[in-house]
Amino acid sequence: MKQVTLKQIAENLGISITTVSKALKNYPDVSKKTKALVKEEAKKLQYKPNVFAVNLRTKQSRTVGLIIPEVVHHFFSSVINGIIEQAEKKGYLVIILQSNESYKLEKRQIDLLISKRVDGIMISLASTTVDISHLQEVQSLDIPLVMFDKISKLIPCSKIIIDDRKAAYEATKHLIDSGCKRIAHFRGALLPQNSIDRFLGYKKALEDHGLTYDPSLIYICENVNYEEGREAADKLLKEHDDVDGIFTITDLVAVGAIAVFNERGVKVPEDISIMGFSNWFVSQAITPSLSTIDQPGYEMGKRTFKQLYKEMKAKKEGKPFPPKIKTLDTFVIKRNSTK
């Protein structure tokens, strides 16, 4: 039950390893006759090239790395889906790692991927990442790098993103258009760019529509989850009785808030309207269903790999690959949590 090699085939046929190799790869300097012979024998023996040897020789692995903050997350799993589908089509396999939103882990994982010699890396940054030296190392090693969703503006690589600011603006505008006069914002931590951008979009929308921005209406959800949505809603009810709309940084937070309002008899959207962000599956299933912003995860994953593929190809051909930034469209999904 030994491994079939080129040598094996060569010996069986009484020809050289070189010719076997070239025959299998359709080199022009092998006669049709021997090509046929070799291919037949290869098939008979079920020859499969030893990727380890191929990798060593060609200096590429046909494998790419993907680092995301969390796997169990509707948006990110959609991204994964888009990426591995595209990758498989192009003959690439994907190694997936999760940073658990930790900078330290993220750094270690970058190192892992580098030492595994993946052909390219895709990453969505952890919220806590500020130091970007690990990403600079990727670039200095000339490994194609594409960032998506949670990016750093300081790294000159290709990026696939949405316009968080614009999307947040539209979400807030939707609340305003539906009659809300006093709108709170459940935001994320202070650091991550998308948390900042969504906050800025919210603020701009208020200002553009004659509503005054009130810092006391801003609630911070560090970890952006269900529980924190509940806590923020609870606080809000204690501190403000005049709020008639909330824009949350993500659906999960909104879902937690709605749960609290349902329990306390606060009517949504009659008393308070709520806008989520991301369009998780859960948002269509709860009562009332949640108005939100569609964030195209699958599409983002697809584009991310496609861009990476282009860059890997360009690199192989010795061409330069100037970074491209692609902003995907988002749109408001109106459901029953807003009027």
Partner DNA sequence: TTCTTAACCGAAAACGTTTTCGATTTTTAT
Partner DNA sequence: ATAAAAATCGAAAACGTTTTCGGTTAAGAA
Q: In this structure, are residues 211 and 183 in contact, taking their beta carbons and an 8 Å threshold?
A: yes
- Do the Cβ atoms of 207 and 173 come closer than 8 Å? no
Concatenate the DSSP letters of all residues of 275-309 into one string: E-SB--THHHHSSSPPBEEE--HHHHHHHHHHHHH
Q: CA 170 to CA 176: how far, in whole Å?
A: 10
Instruction: Point out which span in 55-63, 158-166, 178-186, 235-243 binds a second copy (CB under 8 A).
Output: 55-63
Check binding of 238 to DNA (CB under 7 A): no
**By CB under 8 A, which span of 32-40, 80-88, 239-247, 313-321 interacts with a second copy?**
80-88
Closest approach of Cβ 103 to a second copy, in Å? 16
31 counts as binding DNA under rule CB under 7 A: yes
25 binds, among a second copy, DNA, none (CB under 5 to 8 A by kind): DNA
Mask: binding to DNA, 6-25, rule CB under 7 A, as x and -?
xx-------xxxxx-xx-xx
Beta strands in 124-207 (DSSP E): 145-148, 158-162, 183-187
Is residue 3 part of the contact set for DNA (CB under 7 A)? yes
Q: Among 29, 142, 241, 317, which residue interacts with a second copy (rule: CB under 8 A)?
A: 142
248 binds, among a second copy, DNA, none (CB under 5 to 8 A by kind): none
Helix (H) / strand (E) element for 255: namely helix 251-264
Q: Does 58 bind DNA (CB under 7 A)?
A: yes
Measured CA angle at 324 (ends 319, 328), to 5 deg: 145
C-beta neighbour count of 156 within 10 angstroms:
11
Selected from 40, 44, 46, 50, the binder of DNA by CB under 7 A is: 50
Among 24, 200, 237, 259, binds a second copy (CB under 8 A): 259
